[in-house]
Amino acid sequence: MKKILFILTILLLFPIISSVEVGMKTDFSQGETLIAKISGNFLTNILFENVFFYRGHVRVPFLYDVAKINNEFYIYALLPQTPNNYSLVIKNVEYMKGAEITDTAITSNFSISDNTADFSVYPGFIVADEDFFIKVQNLKDNKINIEVSSDLFEKDEQVTLISGEIKKIYFSVENITESTFGLVKLKSENSEYEIPVYVFVTGNTDPDCIPDCFKKECGNDKCGGSCGICESGDCIDGICGKILKFSPSEAFFYAPTNYNYLKTIYFYNLGKNNLLDLSFSVSENLEDYISLSIEEVEELESGSNIEIELTLFSETEISINGEIRAETNNEIVSFPVSLNFIKDYEPSDNPDDFGSAKICSELDGVICNSDEECSGELVYAKDDRCCLDTCEKIKKSSLGKIIGWIILVLIVVALIWFFKIKLKKGRKKIDLLGIVKKK
């Protein structure tokens, strides 16, 4: 009997043990750096392209990155200074949910308040085999002090920043003799971060050590050797990853004809080194429809981004696909773009709305009729404006009826007055005395 109860207990606990857990705050201040830890039995790794951020149902661009440390995944993102409700979504990743394999999207909701964080940090995690730095920026309009501490690096110091100032806090790994995981704590009066740090050390002298480079093209082989060196980009979880990122990763623009429609995209340098002689261009078939606010950048610092304003224009209705390209050091990154110019189209007032490649029904929405209005959120789907709530009949205003009745009453009053005056003038007074005299 005890054995049966034990087996039943294990079976009941198994789905809980195997489920995915997202460890992160749910309330953030403006400009704060989001740091999330994702734990679970993953069958495929979480990569940069699997991570999305949304405000409501609209995808928004954040500076973010993802890495695997000690069989757990970490995601950081620099949050905007726009209060609202948001969600972190991980898609197209296989993991165990109980005894089943699933790729159901993992969603974690959070909000950004009206308050501003004391400071932001970049990056939100560290994976290194050499000395590194963490960049901090004061977001307040006054001077702040940041306490920096870490048992791993035997560090305990204070950093002072004036308003808007950016500083790099350097860490040395020379005294770390074996691969180690630890935390770097950064704390001010109102903000606090715990940055996960994994330092891997080469030089394993164990003669029985078996190198492990399974599905790796770079990084440590766990025995003091290397699985390879990336010619460009950084080594991320054994894979050579690109250091150049557009955000969002693609866009589906819908714009009216004969109208200069402005949209903004972002470009990030997620590498450890500064980028030199960076250039931007559009594919030949889009040259007549898109102009870029920036075409050349002399230098883009590590962990920084630039804002690129796109001007979209077409005199005629047309749908066309192409790309925007960024190029530096013989590395090219493409940003797929789908343009749809529509006559009398009503553009979105939302600067972060980059459209959707899906039709309305795929977004679980409905297209309202001309005599209906959406009771909730409207997004721009591939086929039309899409209501993600319910369509309700437009209530006709009773003001017209009231005005009609007032006019009718005034007409009636005017007619009564008119006939009353006319009848009054038409009446003749009868002189009885005169009639008698005549007789």
How far from chain centre, in Å, is Cα 305? 15
pLDDT score of 424: 62
pLDDT score of 193: 95
Q: What is the distance between the alpha carbons of residues 354 and 337, in angstroms, rounded to a whole number?
A: 10
Edge-to-edge strand list for the sheet holding 261-269: 244-247, 261-269, 305-312, 290-292
Q: What is the distance between the alpha carbons of residues 403 and 407, in angstroms, rounded to a whole number?
A: 6
pLDDT score of 24: 93
Q: What value, to the nearest 5°, has the Cα angle with vertex 249 and ends 368 and 61? A: 75
**H/E element, 424:** helix 399-426
Q: For 287-291, which contacts have Cβ atoms below 8 Å and span 24 or more sequence positions?
A: 288/314, 289/313, 289/314, 289/318, 289/320, 289/339, 289/341, 290/322, 290/324, 290/337, 290/339
Closest CA to 238 of 257, 258, 220, 262: 220
Query: How far, CA to CA in Å, does 403 sit from each of 396, 412, 414?
Result: 14, 14, 16
pTM for the structure as a whole: 0.62
Architecture label for domain 244-351: Sandwich (2.60)
Fold agreement between 118-201 and 244-351 = yes
pLDDT score of 356: 56
DSSP 98-132: TTEEE-PPEEEEEEEEEEE-SEEEE-SSEEESS-E
Which option is the CATH number for 118-201: 2.60.40.10, 2.40.160.50, 2.40.40.20, 2.170.8.10? Answer: 2.60.40.10
Edge-to-edge strand list for the sheet holding 106-116: 27-30, 106-116, 84-90, 51-55, 58-59
pLDDT score of 19: 78
Asked if 257 and 317 count as a contact pair (C-beta separation under 8 A), the reply is yes
Closest CA to 165 of 137, 134, 191, 135: 137
Q: What is the distance between the alpha carbons of residues 4 and 189, in angstroms, rounded to a whole number?
A: 54
Q: What is the distance between the alpha carbons of residues 393 and 338, in angstroms, rounded to a whole number?
A: 33
Q: What is the distance between the alpha carbons of residues 351 and 63, in angstroms, rounded to a whole number?
A: 16
CATH superfamily of 1-115: Macroglobulin (MG2) domain (2.60.40.1930)
pLDDT score of 141: 93
Rg (CA), the chain: 34
- Per-residue confidence in pLDDT tens, the chain, 439 aa: 544 444 444 444 444 444 789 999 999 999 999 999 999 999 999 988 888 898 887 778 788 888 888 889 999 999 988 899 999 999 889 999 888 999 889 999 999 999 999 999 988 998 887 788 899 999 999 999 999 999 888 889 999 999 999 998 999 888 888 888 899 999 999 999 999 998 877 655 566 777 777 767 676 666 666 666 554 455 656 666 556 778 777 778 888 899 888 888 888 887 767 788 899 999 999 999 999 999 999 988 877 788 899 999 999 998 889 999 998 877 788 888 888 888 887 766 555 556 655 677 777 788 888 788 888 777 767 666 788 878 888 776 556 667 777 887 788 777 776 667 666 655 555 554 555 555 5
- Structure-token pair, residue 281: 């261009």
- Burial code (b: 16+ CB inside 10 Å, e: under 16) for 312-330 equals bbbeeeeebebbbebebee
- Burial code (b: 16+ CB inside 10 Å, e: under 16) for 206-225 equals eeeeeeebeebebbbbbbee
Sign (positive or negative) of CA dihedral 45, 153, 26, 191:
negative
Edge-to-edge strand list for the sheet holding 63-69: 21-23, 33-39, 72-78, 63-69
Domain limits of the chain? 1-115, 118-201, 244-351, 356-399
Q: What is the distance between the alpha carbons of residues 231 and 244, in angstroms, rounded to a whole number?
A: 14
Q: What is the distance between the alpha carbons of residues 30 and 81, in angstroms, rounded to a whole number?
A: 4
Rounded to 5 degrees, what are φ and ψ at 243?
-100, -5
DSSP 346-409: ---S-TT----SS-GGGGT-BPPPTTEEESS-EEE-SSSEEESS-EEEPPPPTHHHHHHHHHHH
Question: Helices marked H in 257-367 — which ranges?
Answer: none
Asked if 334 and 245 count as a contact pair (C-beta separation under 8 A), the reply is no
Q: For 364-370, which contacts have Cβ atoms below 8 Å and span 24 or more sequence positions?
A: 364/388, 366/390, 366/391
